[in-house]
Every structure is written in structure tokens, then in C-alpha cells.
Amino acid sequence: MDNTKPENTKLENQVIIFLGAPGAGKGTQAARLATEHNLLQISTGDILRDHIARGTELGQRVEPIMKQGHLVPDDVLVSMIGEKLQTLEPVRVIFDGFPRTLAQAEALDQMLLQNGTPLNSVLLLEVPTEELIARIVNRGISSERSDDNETTARARQQVYHDLTQPVVEHYRKQGLVQALEGRGSTNEVYARILEAVQTPA
Ligand code: AP5
Ligand code: MG
């Protein structure tokens, strides 16, 4: 038997959710974890931005919503994720930016239940608001994201507080949330994430 094969290459179902306010580092960390652990990063923000870039009907519909930092309607996201999950076998995903409302979280619970796929980890990256704003404004110097400016960054933080914080509580009640310090270098944050994934809540 080949004992040198790393644990993380086993193709078992695995679902990890990254939670955290805009700018917390979800995308940065999810991309690395996905690459190193043979998982698919599903970033709903990236998918929606791709629609905008391609000028699809959906892109045209969501562009003004994203520009203001508001959320795209739940039904759009839930069907997007539902269709994606149906194409995966095994289901090995990191959700980055989904679920973002209680309705989305409940819909995801149902989808995973129907699939017989367990939810392994919910990782919450915690960073103080002013650092989040600074990160987003800083990225806005070179990014082409229409929501990377101070006014929209603040609106996004408020939306997170009002609509996504209940998602944190939803998973906390299920005992799944691991809250991690999101400040420090990206390597330091990644080390915390690896440790958390290896010792689920
Ligand atoms: P989305 O694309 O999901 O954006 P977000 O999560 O709100 O914010 P970011 O992507 O900016 O933050 P992040 O946590 O991924 O951090 P990142 O790694 O990029 O959503 C955009 C919009 O799409 C929403 O407002 C909504 O309109 C719509 N949408 C998407 N999903 C939806 C859903 N499920 N339902 C409804 N609507 C939805 O890092 C941020 C910056 O910080 C980067 O410059 C990075 O280099 C830097 N950084 C990262 N880590 C560190 C560190 N440790 N130290 C210093 N800087 C760091
Ligand atoms: Mg992101």
C-alpha cells in the first residue's frame, strides 16, 4: 500500500464554507486551500462578475445591485448553486461568498441533505471593520471592481451585519463555526485555517 499519498488527495465529499465580512480574506484563502486540497472554490462574487464581463442577461441585471453593494436576490443564487452542485461527483467544494442570507443557508442545508453530503467546516474570518475598509479601498486603486470604494465598502459592511450575521448564528447553533483571527500575514491566516480544517468543530 502506498502510504506516501497525502491525505488530502482522497476524493471524498467535502464541503467548507468561508464566512466573513467583505475584505476579510475569503477569496484569498479559499483559492489557496482549494488548490492545495483538491477542492473546487465556488465564489459567487466571481461568477456574477464573470456574467457582467460577458454582458449576459444576468450580468446586466446584477451589475447595478453589486455596484451599490447590495445583495443579488436569493432565488438567483440558490438556483445557481443548485445547478452547480448537480454537476459535481464527488462534491468537494469551498463556498466563498455563499450563503449570505438565512434563506440561502437554509436552501443549502436542504441541497446538501438531499445529496447526502455533510457540511464539514464553517470558517469565520474575523477582521475589524476599519481594516476591512482599508483593504478594499487599497485594492480599489488597481482593481476593476465597481464596489471597491469607501462608500460601497461601508454599505457592504452594513449588509453583512444585517443579512449575513444571521447566517453565522445559524451555523453556530449547529456547532459548526470556527472563528479565526483574520489579521496578520496571509500565510499566518492560512496556517490557522489549515489547523481548523484538520480539527473540525
Ligand atoms: P463578493 O465577491 O463575494 O465580495 P465580498 O466577499 O463581499 O468581498 P471581497 O471579495 O472583497 O472580500 P474577501 O473576503 O473575498 O477578501 P479578499 O480575499 O478578496 O461579493 C460581491 C457582490 O456580489 C456582493 O456585494 C453581492 O452584490 C454579490 N453577491 C455575491 N455573492 C452573493 C450571494 N451569495 N448572495 C447575494 N449576492 C451576492 O481580500 C480583500 C483584499 O484584502 C484583497 O486586496 C487582498 O489581497 C487583501 N488581503 C487578504 N488577506 C489579507 C491579509 N491577511 N492582510 C492584508 N490584506 C489582505
Ligand atoms: Mg471575495
At residue 178, φ and ψ (nearest 5 deg) are -115, 110
Q: Indicate if ligand 1 lies below 6 Å from the C-beta of 160.
A: no
Q: Give the pLDDT score at 11.
A: 64
97 Cα to the center of ligand 1, angstroms = 7
CATH T-level fold of 14-198: Rossmann fold (3.40.50)
- In the sheet that holds 92-96, the strands lie side by side as 40-43, 92-96, 14-19, 121-126, 177-181
Integer CA distances (angstroms), 60 to 53, 54, 67, in order = 9, 9, 12
Which residue, judged by its Cα, is nearest atom 56 of ligand 1? Answer: 135
* Helix ranges restricted to H, the chain: 26-36, 44-54, 57-68, 74-86, 102-115, 129-140, 150-159, 165-173, 186-198
What residues does each domain of the chain span? 14-198
| Tens-level pLDDT at each residue, the chain (201 residues) | 444 444 544 468 899 999 999 999 999 999 999 999 999 999 999 999 999 999 999 999 999 999 999 999 999 999 999 999 999 999 999 999 999 999 999 999 999 999 889 999 999 999 999 999 999 999 999 999 999 999 999 999 999 999 999 999 999 999 999 999 999 999 999 999 999 999 878
10 Cα to the center of ligand 2, angstroms = 27
- Ligand 2 is an ion; residues with CB less than 5 A from it: 27
Q: Give the pLDDT score at 8.
A: 46
